[in-house]
């Protein structure tokens, strides 16, 4: 079980050092985008009304200036805007791309490492026990036509809700580690405190509601989740990795087994909101990963139907129909959605 919140105090001298380090990242230095999809914004900060465009992964950008945890950058096509520092990595090629000014990779790399070392480390992630190992192998993903027909009939749902799961296939994946629990308010508070990243909009004065330390953090956009994962030295899971962790070696329908009946799972308004992670005693996969069927739905790094603005969300939540708790289920979610039943977990 995850521990309660760890209050982070940053001495004034440390803040000064971090600020000075940030100032050493001069304009005209080159970085590249390190996530599948990154928003270019008209101003620093995560808002739904300041998105200028979408920047593909590995795009090289030129730093214009820095403001806190945000960089104003110029793209190769001349477009200019703001990107969070957690979605950028120093460029090490040493040669500028088309329309990109000459970089100073050693200077920017050294400064970035200094800034990172000055920040409090995410203590939880040094403990591998907080993660579950999913061994390399060949696993079942997706659903057959017969399976989705049965699901549609059983829950009186339109069959076209499930056609994105077709077809069942054997997928070979490399081994990886996945968080045993969804990222909690306490976890996310460490990130916010260490980086001064904007807190979720449902927090008050930068703090989550008392007594919800071990509740999943919610009202998190895809970009927020990706930024947290980058800071933690992890990433978001692919939809297939998530599904394998939920369904196990033999392709279970639900994380706990073949059927949904009276299991202790936070789905379909059994509770009036999210619960502490791991509180639903039946909602555990064969590999020992908790809350993949209910509590909150979870972001993945897989685009939905190759649409830039939509990503696959996996798992059910406290407001979901029971069939959404199936490991194969896919839900499209716009990258800027902030919902009281949508959170995430990470892999590495």
Pull the structure tokens for residue 117.
Answer: 């070392």
How is 22-68 classified by DSSP, letter by letter?
Answer: HHTS-TT-EEEE-SSEEEEESSSS--TT-EEEEEETT-EEEEEEEET
Q: Give yes or no for a contact between 208 and 184, defined as CB atoms under 8 angstroms apart.
A: no
The predicted structure's pLDDT at residue 305: 94
The predicted structure's pLDDT at residue 92: 67
Q: Give yes or no for a contact between 181 and 217, defined as CB atoms under 8 angstroms apart.
A: no
Name the E strands within the chain: 30-33, 37-41, 51-56, 60-67, 70-74, 80-84, 88-90, 131-134, 137-141, 169-173, 176-179, 297-303, 310-314, 331-334, 342-343
For range 325-346, the mean pLDDT: 97
Domains in the chain, ordered, with CATH?
A: 12-119 (2.30.30.40), 126-343 (3.90.1580.10)
Q: What's the pLDDT tens digit per position in 83-108?
A: 887 788 887 664 433 333 333 333 33
For the chain, give the mean pLDDT: 83
- Parallel/antiparallel/unpaired status of strands 176-179 and 297-303: unpaired
How is 116-159 classified by DSSP, letter by letter?
Answer: HHHSPP-GGGG-GGGEEEE-SEEEEESB-HHHHHHHHHHTT--G
Please state which of the ranges 9-18, 164-173, 328-337 shows the lowest mean pLDDT. Answer: 9-18
Q: What's the pLDDT tens digit per position in 121-180?
A: 444 433 434 799 999 999 999 999 999 999 999 999 999 999 999 999 999 999 999 999
**Nearest one of 170, 176, 151, 173 to 162, comparing CA atoms:** 151
90 phi, psi to nearest 5 deg: -55, 135
Alpha-carbon span 327 to 306, nearest angstrom: 21
Residue 221 pLDDT class (50, 70, 90 cuts): very high
Give the dihedral of Cα atoms 231, 233, 237, 238; nearest 10 deg.
100
For range 54-83, the mean pLDDT: 89
Going from the C-alpha of 71 to that of each of 50, 226, 236, the distances in angstroms are 15, 17, 22
Q: Give yes or no for a contact between 311 and 335, defined as CB atoms under 8 angstroms apart.
A: yes
Pull the structure tokens for residue 229.
Answer: 């994962």
The predicted structure's pLDDT at residue 84: 81
The predicted structure's pLDDT at residue 3: 40
In angstroms, the first-to-last Cα distance of the chain is 19
Residue 345 pLDDT class (50, 70, 90 cuts): very high
Q: Which residues contact 306 (CB under 8 A, 6 or more apart)?
A: none
**Nearest one of 194, 186, 63 to 117, comparing CA atoms:** 194
Q: At what angle do helices 185-195 and 222-231 cross, to 10 degrees?
A: 70
The predicted structure's pLDDT at residue 70: 81
The predicted structure's pLDDT at residue 316: 97
């Amino acid at each position: 079980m995850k521990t309660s919140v760890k209050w982070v105090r940053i001495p004034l001298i440390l803040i000064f050092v971090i600020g000075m380090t940030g100032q050493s990242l001069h304009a005209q230095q080159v970085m590249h985008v390190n996530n599948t999809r990154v928003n270019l914004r008209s101003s620093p900060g995560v808002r739904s009304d300041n998105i200028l465009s979408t920047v593909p992964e590995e795009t090289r950008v030129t730093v214009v200036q820095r403001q806190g945890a945000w960089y104003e950058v110029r793209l190769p096509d001349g477009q200019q805007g703001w990107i969070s520092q957690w979605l950028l990595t120093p460029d090490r090629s040493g040669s500028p791309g088309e329309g990109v000014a000459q970089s100073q990779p050693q200077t920017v790399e050294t400064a970035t490492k200094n800034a990172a070392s000055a920040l409090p480390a995410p203590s939880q992630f040094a403990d591998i026990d907080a993660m579950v190992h999913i061994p390399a192998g060949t696993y079942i993903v997706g659903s057959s036509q017969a399976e989705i027909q049965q699901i549609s009939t059983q829950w009186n749902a339109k069959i076209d809700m499930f056609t994105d799961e077709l077809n069942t296939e054997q997928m070979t994946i490399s081994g990886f580690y996945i968080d045993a629990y969804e990222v909690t308010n306490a976890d996310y508070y460490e990130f916010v405190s260490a980086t001064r990243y904007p807190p979720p909009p449902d927090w008050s004065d930068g703090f989550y509601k008392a007594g919800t330390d071990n509740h999943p953090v919610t009202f998190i956009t895809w970009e927020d989740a990706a930024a947290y994962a980058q800071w933690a030295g992890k990433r978001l899971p692919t939809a297939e990795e998530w599904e394998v962790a939920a369904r196990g070696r033999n392709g279970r329908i639900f994380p706990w087994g073949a059927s949904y009946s009276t299991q202790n799972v936070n789905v379909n308004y059994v509770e009036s909101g999210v619960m502490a992670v791991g509180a639903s005693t039946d909602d555990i996969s064969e590999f020992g990963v908790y809350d993949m069927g209910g509590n909150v739905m979870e972001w993945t790094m897989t685009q939905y139907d190759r649409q830039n603005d939509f990503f696959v969300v996996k798992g059910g939540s406290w407001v979901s129909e029971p069939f959404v708790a199936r490991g194969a289920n896919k839900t499209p979610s716009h990258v800027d959605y902030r919902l009281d039943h949508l959170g995430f977990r990470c892999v590495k």
